[in-house]
Chains A and B, each alone.
Chain A
Amino acid sequence: MAKKNLLDPNANGFIEHDHNNDGIDRRGFLKCMAWAGTGALCVIEGGVLKSHALASQMGSEMKSHKMGELSFVQISDSHMGFNKPANPDVIATLQAAVDKINALPEKPEFILHTGDISHLSKPSEFDNVDQILKATNKEIFFVPGEHDVLNDEGVMFRERYGKNSKGQGWYSFDKNGVHFIGLVNVMNLKAGGLGTLGNEQLEWMEDDVKHLKSSTPIVVFAHIPLWSVYPQWGWGTDDSGQALSYLKKFGSVTVLNGHIHQTMQKVEGNITFHTAFSTAFPQPAPGQGEGPGPMKVPAEQLRSILGITDVNYVQGRHALAVVDSTLA
């Protein structure tokens, strides 16, 4: 049973990653998660996934790297308002995520939130998240999850978080030579389908990157994965291939997503895909268990499968370093 493997402190080994595998590396993922449960981290660097078993090792290795010109943090799926057994206190775990961010040795310049800020799109839920995240003192960039646009086609979300966005909430910006693209793939979903970007957004994106030099590092962030993680559970985006085709000329593309409440990595050509932990509750590994709902784990283990993602960019390096760390 996956849940046992996931939390087995004796699980050991390296993270195996198959660059040619089109699907997901379930075995590697489980080991990564097991390590995370015992305080370890998973790192993508120069297009290669590396893992570091012990926190102390991690510390010295990371120090020996020149930490870069740009450091930022991704958080995801805070689901404010959720109160079921999988996590009866999502306020406390979001606060723990903020503490984690504030304690990072390399101070992040800003934060990306990849959606499902709220659980039921209620103003009070957004208010609570805003209040808690204020303690980071950071600029925060949001894209919506499906839980943030439940009853109004995203009107409230855009009023709060998308003042300068286009269309249904997409936008781009530049930081320290890195071009960031925030996409919306949780609206106008079609029966039987997956996440959707839609033609209007795709046209905007094609135009947005046209003028950029191919040496510009690109970071794309959106809620639902822009790669096919597990379509049976809706974990993918129907027209993501079209969007990624506009990024072929770039040497370094990093795609950051949420939605699946677990970390997962894949490298394909110039693109590194990564999904982040939730700060609220875990979900099962693809195809493990009955369905993609909240996964209940023993209370003392919860914070070892929630977390944040720290991203570092060093100029001249091929890929951005993506480091997941848990709230434990």
Chain B
Amino acid sequence: MTKRKLLFGSFALTLPLALATVLIMHPTRAKSEAAASPTEVRVDNFTFGPATLTVPVNSTVTWINKDDLPHVIASDDGVFKSKALDTDDKYSYTFSKAGTYAYYCSIHPKMVGKIIVQ
């Protein structure tokens, strides 16, 4: 997780250096992380995974519901809100401004997450 944050957090500025460092240190791991979608949040067993996701400005984040029950993605301050997502339904939102966006499931409010846009 820390590795992933480091990788994407420094992506824009020091891409070649960061990538090279990771490749040298963990060649196989770097490859598999690069293949995974960095902008997807899985809603699974009443939790957001990852609970905190860091993305560059203008990223589109997609939530996918893997539960047998619906969930609703809603930002704490009303910036974005999905319709009810049934099983395997997706919701996407593009973050054009840097900042920290706290969100929750509006029908299961114990479920909370965060998107950090930088």
Contact = CB atoms under 8 A, between A and B. Distances in A.
Interface of A: 82, 84-86, 119-121, 146-147, 150-151, 186, 189-194, 231-234, 290-294
Interface string B54-87: 0000000000000111101000100000011011
B27 interface: no
A146 B74 CA distance: 15
A234 B83 CA distance: 21
Contacts of B10: none
Interface centre among A82, A121, A192, A194 (most CB of B within 10 A): A192
A192 B104 contact: yes
24 contacts: A86-B68, A120-B70, A120-B84, A146-B108, A147-B107, A191-B76, A191-B103, A191-B104, A192-B104, A192-B109, A192-B110, A192-B112, A193-B109, A193-B110, A194-B109, A194-B110, A233-B110, A234-B108, A234-B109, A291-B46, A291-B47, A293-B67, A293-B68, A294-B69
Contacts of A120: 70, 84, 86
B96 interface: no
A147 B84 CA distance: 9
The 8 A-B pairs of least Cβ separation, nearest first, read A191-B104, A150-B84, A146-B107, A189-B109, A84-B68, A234-B110, A291-B45, A291-B46
B106 interface: yes
Nearest to B110: A234
Interface centre among A191, A194, A231 (most CB of B within 10 A): A191
Q: Is the interface of B mostly helix, strand, loop or mixed?
A: loop
Contacts of A232: 110
Interface centre among A194, A231, A232, A292 (most CB of B within 10 A): A292
A119 B69 CA distance: 8
A150 B68 CA distance: 16
B102 interface: yes
A148 to B, nearest CB: 10
Contacts of B109: 189-194, 234
Contacts of B47: 291
Contacts of B67: 293
Interface of B: 45-47, 67-70, 72, 76, 83-84, 86-87, 102-104, 106-110, 112
Nearest to B86: A120
A191 B109 CA distance: 5
Nearest to B111: A234
A168 to B, nearest CB: 14
Contacts of B103: 191
Contacts of A291: 45-47
Nearest to B68: A84
A193 B47 CA distance: 15
Contacts of B104: 191-192
Contacts of B45: 290-291, 293
A250 B63 CA distance: 48
Nearest to A283: B69
Contacts of B102: 191
Contacts of A290: 45
Given A191-B102, A293-B69, A151 B107 contact: no
A186 B67 CA distance: 20
B110 A84 contact: no
A151 B110 contact: no
Contacts of A84: 68, 87
B68 A191 contact: no
Contacts of B76: 191
A139 B76 CA distance: 40
B46 A151 contact: no
A292 B68 CA distance: 11
Contacts of B87: 84
Nearest to B69: A293
A193 B103 CA distance: 13
